[in-house]
């Protein structure tokens, strides 16, 4: 399709690059010696942008530089790095990768929860250091007779809930609206939910609406016996307050897959015994990343061939309203 040119905004998996190159003229912004000069000279030819976490924001100022832009394909279900509302108002569709990663992220969330409460990385380090010879590893916390509040009972939150039920956890949730046909207790107030549960599982979208929604007050309500698990975005948590509360013992423990300024992680966390730190690996299996990558390609191809996007985000419905 010669007149449908695609610009990839940063490194992507070969499956995406090759899938797009098989159909379109593809440019790679990160390989351009002079990005600004490339955009100035060729921006008008670009119909599709393909981006993902770590490629930089695709905000209105960036999108304006491509006057014939029609679609932005995001590698990931979370699209807080894209100004989707502006795109929708300007006839640009944004696609993401929902559903294909839901089970993988839910598995990781439960794994991180168990690793944090049962201190699996610390136990592994204990064996490797030869310390078992000196005596047994200290007893740990437990999931038995515990309750968990889920912030964001959407696709992934619901999949986590299904797993957590099998583990015997008592469940509650907070979101902007109560969900129909859900038997767990709904809390309109996040701080009240945090006060009542042992574990807070964070899995709502990033962006301005949720910035630091897990505030100091929420973490103080969770308390010294509480555990915070964040598999959503670092921006949802007041990170400086979290570090301070974990250090002082006013927050019991945390399992974190995401951070405010990834890949930079507050170094104060490195020395803490009550945290488990992961490098944003919720969806990072070969199986699931391949599904996500294929969905990125399929969205762009379906749109370019006139069949519409497969998974447009709610801010850019298809067909467009009005």
Question: Which residues are known catalytic residues?
Answer: 233, 262, 280
Residue whose CB is less far from ligand NAP, 243 or 278: 278
C-alpha–C-alpha distance, residues 100 and 113, integer Å: 22
Hey, which residues does 171 pair with through a beta bridge?
148
Hey, which residues does 51 pair with through a beta bridge?
74
Q: Is 168 exposed, middle or buried (0-12, 13-18, 19+ CB in 10 A)?
A: exposed
Q: Which residue has 């006139």 as its token pair?
A: 306
Name the binder of 75 from ligand NAP, ligand 8YV, none, CB < 5-8 A by kind: ligand 8YV
Q: Which of 12, 232, 275, 295 binds ligand NAP (CB under 6 A)?
A: 232
Joined tokens for residue 206: 């990033």
Name the binder of 49 from ligand NAP, ligand 8YV, none, CB < 5-8 A by kind: none
Shortest Å, Cβ 233 to ligand NAP: 5
Q: Is 177 in the site for ligand NAP (CB under 6 A)?
A: yes
State how beta strands 227-230 and 253-256 pair: parallel
**H or E, element range at 244:** helix 239-248
Name the binder of 304 from ligand NAP, ligand 8YV, none, CB < 5-8 A by kind: none
Closest CA to 230 of 181, 269, 268: 269
Residue whose CB is less far from ligand NAP, 88 or 157: 157
Q: Tell me the window of 37-45, 122-130, 153-161, 291-299 that interacts with ligand NAP (CB under 6 A).
A: 153-161
- Are 83 and 300 in contact by the 8 Å Cβ rule? The answer is no
Shortest Å, Cβ 170 to ligand 8YV: 28
Q: How far is CA 251 from CA 39, 175, 237, 301, in A?
A: 48, 22, 13, 48
Q: Which of 153, 172, 218, 292 binds ligand NAP (CB under 6 A)?
A: 153
Joined tokens for residue 40: 């100035």
C-alpha–C-alpha distance, residues 212 and 316, integer Å: 26
Q: Which DSSP state fits 264?
A: B
In the stretch 2-41, what mask flags binding to ligand NAP with x, by CB under 6 A? Answer: ----------------------------------------
Q: Is 111 in the site for ligand NAP (CB under 6 A)?
A: no
Where does this chain bind ligand 8YV (CB under 6 A)? 52-53, 75-78, 101, 282-283
Name the binder of 94 from ligand 8YV, ligand NAP, none, CB < 5-8 A by kind: none
Give the three-state DSSP class for 14: helix
Q: What are the residues binding ligand NAP (CB under 6 A)?
A: 77-78, 98, 101, 105, 152-157, 175-177, 203-206, 209-210, 231-233, 257-258, 280, 282-283
């Amino acid at each position: 399709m010669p007149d449908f040119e695609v610009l990839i905004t940063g490194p992507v998996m070969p499956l995406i690059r090759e899938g797009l190159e098989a159909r379109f003229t593809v440019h790679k912004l990160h390989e351009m010696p002079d990005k600004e000069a490339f955009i100035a000279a060729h921006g008008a030819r670009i119909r599709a942008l393909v981006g993902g976490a770590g490629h930089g924001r695709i905000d209105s100022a960036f999108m304006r530089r491509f006057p014939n832009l029609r679609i932005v394909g995001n590698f990931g279900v979370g699209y807080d790095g894209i100004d989707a509302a502006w795109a929708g108002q300007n006839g640009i569709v944004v696609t993401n990768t929902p559903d294909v990663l839901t089970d993988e992220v839910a598995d990781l969330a439960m794994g991180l929860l168990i690793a944090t409460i049962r201190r699996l990385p610390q136990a592994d380090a204990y064996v490797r250091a030869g310390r078992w010879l000196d005596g047994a590893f200290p007893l740990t916390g437990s999931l038995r007779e515990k309750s968990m509040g889920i912030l964001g009972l959407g696709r992934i939150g619901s999949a986590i809930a299904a797993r957590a039920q099998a583990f015997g956890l008592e469940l509650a949730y907070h979101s902007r609206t109560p969900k129909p046909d859900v038997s767990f207790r709904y809390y309109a107030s996040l701080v009240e939910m945090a006060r009542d549960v042992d574990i807070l599982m964070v899995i709502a979208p990033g962006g301005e609406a949720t910035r630091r929604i897990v505030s100091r007050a929420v973490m103080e309500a969770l308390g010294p016996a509480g555990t915070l698990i964040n598999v959503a975005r670092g921006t949802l948590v007041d990170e400086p307050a979290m570090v301070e509360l974990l250090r002082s013992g006013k927050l019991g423990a945390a399992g974190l897959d995401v951070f405010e300024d990834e890949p930079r992680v507050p170094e104060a966390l490195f020395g803490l015994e009550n945290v488990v730190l992961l490098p944003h690996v919720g969806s990072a299996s070969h199986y699931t990343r391949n599904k996500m990558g294929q969905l990125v390609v399929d969205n762009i191809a379906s749109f370019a061939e006139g069949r519409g996007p497969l998974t447009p985000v709610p801010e850019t419905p298809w067909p467009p309203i009005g």
